[in-house]
Chain A
Amino acid sequence: MSTVTAPATTSLLQSRAASRGRRLRNHLATGLIIGSMAVTLVPLVFLVIFVVGRGGHAFGWHFLTTDIPILDREMGGGMKAAVVGTLLITGGATAMAVPLGVLGAVYLNEYGKQSRLARFIRFLSEVMTGVPSIVMGLFIYILWTLHFKSFSGFAGSLALACLMLPIVIRTSEEMLRLVPDELREGSYALGSRKVRTIRTVVLPHAAPGVISGSLLAVARAAGETAPLLFVIGIVTDTNSNLFHGPTTALSAQIFKNAISPFVGAQDRAYGAALTLILLVFVFTALARVVTTVYARRTTAAV
């Protein structure tokens, strides 16, 4: 066989001198890209170490169920009032924001769709997600606290609900949009009216996504400080009545204690920070679990 293969005396495929610069730039870019991930992970890791390290020894069931000492300089104690306050206030906000937000999303996706009003509402919701939480706090202060001349946990719930509402509307609308029209049409074809279709077909199908989005909104609200500061007051006694009397919350306590010179208060701040982070992370993780289960369910069904 007289095949002729070109003798490879010089490599054709290895980089030439001219392209060395290109390869260098490519490597540099890759390095910077990986570097940005490292740079981002560093504060996250340090922060977690900080909170767990300093808050860890204070934290525990005892911490969650012991009253806040009246005097900052007292050592020990717990954050019971703040825990109760955070749970009640955030719970109240969720009870208002999630149903209203989902209903609003239902309007946008099932009724209004691309009408001018619906587009306007959609646009404003998105803009409203960018409004700083302190403005919500000022708003509720003016509207509610000034008017009723008293602090209450409920006012805090209102402020957080204003914060959560646009977020719930946006994420819920996206989930509703993902429900295929074929499902709706199938329901209509069987004679169901719109309300029933929404109730029995659309919402159940979108439920995991809506729940997941709402959980993330709850996590965000639980961590908020500014909206609460002017409207709930500050106390050390646990107030289990959402509607009557001032109360406190974990975020507010952390803020107050952060600048305290007393070690006792600082310790409690770390403990409260750990508590708050755990709470927020639990909700965030729950949201992700719901999404994953949802994804698995839809792929299994296919």
Chain B
Amino acid sequence: MPEARSGTATVAPVLTRPPAEQHDGTREVLPPELGERQIVFDLSDVEVRYHGVTAVQNVNLRIAAREITAFIGPSGCGKTTVLRTLNRMHDITPGAEVRGRITYHGEDLYGPRVDVAEVRRRIGMVFQKPNPFPKSIHDNVAYGPRINGHKRGDIGDRVEHALQRAALWDEVKDKLRQSALGLSGGQQQRLCIARALAVEPDVVLMDEPCSALDPIATARIEDLMQELKSDYTLVIVTHNMQQAARASDRTAFFTAEVDDAGRRVGHLVEFDATEQLFTQPSDPRTEGYITGRFG
């Protein structure tokens, strides 16, 4: 299935230089700027299997704090799979196995004494299709703080703060008690963002957050992402290359290839500063994808 190719026009054309030194994809090179940034996630040799069959493997990358990191690639290459390892959502996926090592601020995310609920509080997630609870707008955002035991007076402030952060407050402040399901798609997605922000996370993971939205709503969320990155680390999966090119700081390109047994397995091809990846990709496969030759 060909990916949406709306962004190629703004990506600088691939230069005619010869392909760079082959990267075998298993050892990404940290661009110099990353050196000064705090590392939030460090993935080494990460592999995910579903019912024994490898879906994605050999993933090595580091995600830096207060940045937007984008995962791009054709369908089925494992970008969402890798994203979901970061908040341990695979724990509830039947048959899913996560191997390798993933650390969060140096701590093993899958360690034996780790509290999964705390993991997910710190590392929030916004899904592809907005999924607000069938409750009021207020109760949606209040859900997280309530679970965490905040008192009633406190909750009202947290709800307002989260909605403001998600750029939704002005639109809903007079109808907090109304059902969240009455909002438009874009508003519902911003509500889901507010809901995630209300628990004061460190990281927000976004799985194709705009794919179900119209272009105007998409643009609003992209603006929101730029505002949020000053306080949160964002990792987003997107099939829209133009979005990755204009919105992210660092981009990881995944692809799926057929292995010896004839099965499609995803892996990480290249991981670089966005501008670098789109103007001077080191791998021919990256080049092929961003110029629309395949995918």
Q: Of A2, A5, A6, A23, which one neighbours B115 at CB under 8 angstroms?
A: A23
Structural contact, B109 and A1, CB atoms closer than 8 A: no
Q: Which of A14-22, A109-117, A130-138, A186-194 contacts B (4 or more CB under 8 A)?
A: A14-22
Q: Mark A13-36, 1 if CB is under 8 A from B, else 0.
A: 111101100110000000000000
Structural contact, B107 and A3, CB atoms closer than 8 A: no
Structural contact, B105 and A18, CB atoms closer than 8 A: no
Q: How far is the CA of A137 from the CA of B251 in the complex (A)?
A: 75
Q: Which residues of chain A come closer than 8 Å to B62, judged between CB atoms? A: 3
* Closest chain B CB from A242 CB (angstroms): 52
Structural contact, B36 and A13, CB atoms closer than 8 A: no
Structural contact, A2 and B36, CB atoms closer than 8 A: yes
* Closest chain B CB from A262 CB (angstroms): 56
- Among residues 255 to 270 in chain B, which have CB atoms less than 8 Å away from a CB atom of chain A? none
Structural contact, A19 and B118, CB atoms closer than 8 A: yes
Structural contact, A12 and B34, CB atoms closer than 8 A: no
Known interface pairs A13-B122, A22-B147. Does A5 touch B117 (Cβ–Cβ under 8 Å)? no
In the assembled complex, A8 has its CB within 8 A of some CB on chain B: yes
In the assembled complex, A7 has its CB within 8 A of some CB on chain B: yes
The SS class assigned to the B binding surface is mixed
Task: Return the chain B residue nearest A15 by Cβ.
Answer: B115
Q: Of B30, B35, B104, which one neighbours A13 at CB under 8 angstroms?
A: B104
Q: Which residues of chain B come closer than 8 Å to A5, judged between CB atoms? A: 38-39, 42, 105-106
* Closest chain B CB from A3 CB (angstroms): 6
Task: Return the chain B residue nearest A11 by Cβ.
Answer: B107
Known interface pairs A3-B34, A22-B147. Does A13 touch B118 (Cβ–Cβ under 8 Å)? yes
* Closest chain B CB from A1 CB (angstroms): 6
Q: Which residues of chain B come closer than 8 Å to A23, judged between CB atoms? A: 115, 117
In the assembled complex, A4 has its CB within 8 A of some CB on chain B: yes
Task: Return the chain A residue nearest B202 by Cβ.
Answer: A12
Task: Return the chain B residue nearest A1 by Cβ.
Answer: B35
Structural contact, B107 and A13, CB atoms closer than 8 A: yes
In the assembled complex, B151 has its CB within 8 A of some CB on chain A: no
Q: How far is the CA of A11 from the CA of B118 in the complex (A)?
A: 11
* Closest chain B CB from A8 CB (angstroms): 4
Q: How far is the CA of A209 from the CA of B34 in the complex (A)?
A: 62
Q: Which residues of chain B come closer than 8 Å to A3, judged between CB atoms? A: 30, 34-35, 39, 62
Known interface pairs A3-B39, A6-B106. Does A18 touch B149 (Cβ–Cβ under 8 Å)? yes
Q: How far is the CA of A3 from the CA of B35 in the complex (A)?
A: 4
Structural contact, B117 and A12, CB atoms closer than 8 A: no
* Closest chain B CB from A29 CB (angstroms): 14
In the assembled complex, B119 has its CB within 8 A of some CB on chain A: yes
Structural contact, B115 and A13, CB atoms closer than 8 A: yes
Structural contact, A6 and B105, CB atoms closer than 8 A: yes
* Closest chain B CB from A15 CB (angstroms): 4
Structural contact, A12 and B104, CB atoms closer than 8 A: yes
Structural contact, A4 and B30, CB atoms closer than 8 A: no
Which 3 A-B pairs give the minimum distances between C-beta atoms? A15-B115, A8-B106, A13-B114
Sample (13) of A-B pairs whose CB atoms are under 8 Å apart? A2-B35, A5-B38, A5-B105, A6-B38, A6-B105, A7-B106, A8-B107, A12-B122, A13-B118, A13-B119, A14-B113, A19-B148, A22-B149
Given A11-B107, A18-B148, output 15 extra A-B contacts at Cβ < 8 Å.
Answer: A4-B36, A4-B37, A5-B106, A6-B106, A8-B106, A12-B105, A13-B109, A13-B111, A13-B114, A13-B118, A13-B122, A14-B114, A22-B117, A23-B115, A23-B117
